[in-house]
Amino acid sequence: MKTSKAIYLFLVPGMLLYLIFFIYPTLSGLYYSFTDWDGLSPEYGFVGVDNYINMITNDLVFTRSLGNNLKFMFTVVICQTMLSLLLAVLLVKNSKGSVFLRALYFFPAIIASISVAFIWSFMYDPTMGLINRALSAVGLDSLAMNWIGNMDIAIYSIAFVQVWAHTGQMMVVFIAGLQAIPEDLYEVARIEGAGRWQTFRKITWPLIAPSATIVVAYTTIQSFKAFDLIFAMTGGGPAYSTEILSTFLYHTAFQNYKFGYASAGSVIFMFIIALITLLQFRILRGSKVSY
């Protein structure tokens, strides 16, 4: 059947929006990354790759931000993936109790990140916070601390908040993957005498690998974009101990007015996310069912 050429006109609105709101800003950011534009002046100088060289070799705040972001990412990806998978395995059956608990665990995902940040800032408060008061109530005063004021643990404290807020959301993805596995495969495994761990390793995990890929990739991108949570809780402090790449770019561009320099950071940011995501896809895509 011959397709009318007029049908391609329906692609035009979408392509225009894509060009205006994605391609053009991306190319503009790439161009400005080679300049010293301050974001306000109509004139700017072309500095070549100096922004990239200075950021990678001489900028200690950028280096620390990248290190903090990697710590945050690995903590969130590992803990959130494992916890959401555990909850999915426990709540995969469609009983009333499981449905209620799924809704309960999913609830934090619908709360705005700013609200989550304010809730947990109060929870972490060293004098009035619920966590320290609860520890004191059970005689564990020695464990009470300034959870987001301590440079050694602040980034991990915020990572815990990220896990709390989004584990239920990722649990739903895993449940969808688990419920799509044919029951016949488990019957075969039982007949063959496979134990629970062997069944999980040989059947369940390979068949939910696509779901795991989605969870890990989404969680990775999410952890690099945790600007609102960190900005509201610590602003990147104390002493840059919670500064991540997104807050670094904000401070560089909108507080120091180094938009050209920040554009170079955003390009590096994009390549880091792309590289990590591609590596994750390659690792997780190799799982195969053994039964």
Contacts 24+ apart (CB under 8 A), 272-278: 272/66, 272/224, 272/245, 273/220, 273/221, 273/224, 276/73, 276/220, 277/217, 277/220, 277/221
Cα–Cα distance for residue pair 81/85, rounded to 1 Å? 6
Residue 247 lies in a domain: yes
Residue 153's alpha-carbon distances to 184, 238, 242, in angstroms, are 47, 11, 9
- Tens digit of pLDDT per residue, the chain (291 long)? 556 777 888 888 999 999 999 999 999 999 999 999 998 888 999 999 999 999 999 999 999 999 999 999 999 999 999 999 999 999 998 899 999 999 999 999 999 999 999 999 999 999 889 999 999 999 888 888 999 999 999 999 999 999 999 999 999 999 999 999 888 888 888 888 888 888 888 888 888 988 988 898 899 988 988 999 999 999 999 999 999 999 999 999 999 999 999 999 999 999 998 888 888 777 766 555 454
Tell me the three state secondary structure of residue 119. Answer: helix
Burial of 285 (0-12, 13-18, 19+ CB in 10 A): exposed
Residue 177 lies in a domain: yes
Residue 123 lies in a domain: yes
Residue 216 lies in a domain: yes
Q: Which residue range forms the structural domain that includes residue 161?
A: 59-284
> How many domains is the chain partitioned into structurally?
1
- CATH number, domain of 274, equals 1.10.3720.10
**pLDDT attached to residue 194:** 81
Residue 34 lies in a domain: no
**pLDDT attached to residue 158:** 97
pTM: 0.87
Residue 44 lies in a domain: no
Residue 19 lies in a domain: no
Residue 200 lies in a domain: yes
